[in-house]
Amino acid sequence: MPAGTELFSLKGRVALVTGAGRGIGFSFAKGLASAGAHVAINDIDPDTANTAVDSLRSAGWSAEAVPFDVTDNPAVASAVDGLVARNGRLDILMNNAGILIRKPIETHDMDDWNKVIAINLSSLYGVARECARPMRQQKYGRIINTASVMAISSRPGVISYVAAKHGVVGITRGMAAELGDR
């Protein structure tokens, strides 16, 4: 490890990254793995999660696939319990899973709205709640929630995404107030 980087070492840490099969989530996973963390790659699609894991392992990093639907609370609880059982701990949650549906308000129906809110906002809370339990028990943990510049601004056609990401900022503040001193 280059001089001065020990401060940023995650050696021995276990990180879960949701929505990590590709895109920004996969970039987060690569960053955590390159710093020494064992990274649990979450994606709703097992093949996508396994492909991402193969990529990290081929770079010499430690990773495992943890496929589950972030909106399925029993599946989330089971996945977190299994991750902790296999690794003995969970140190970092990178809450990243999300979607965006682009439609003008006149055609952005309630099913679209509910899907975006469920994946981008409600699941963020549910996954964090499950991960906070082992983190509290071990008296160490970091929860990082992915928001967006859309949390404070907007553009046409993304109203549910804007609302969800605004909510992410609020949930993050609430979590900081409740969990920050631990």
Q: What is the C-alpha separation between 91 and 101, in angstroms, rounded? A: 32
Q: What is the C-alpha separation between 126 and 174, in angstroms, rounded? A: 14
Active site residue 161: yes
Q: How far is CA 176 from CA 44, 143, 157, in A?
A: 27, 9, 31
Extract the tokens encoding 165. 């990401």
Q: What is the C-alpha separation between 41 and 168, in angstroms, rounded? A: 21
**Among residues 42, 160, 161, 165, which one is catalytic?**
161
Quickly list DSSP for 36-59. Answer: T-EEEE--SSHHHHHHHHHHHHHT
For the annotated catalytic residues, the residue numbers are 161
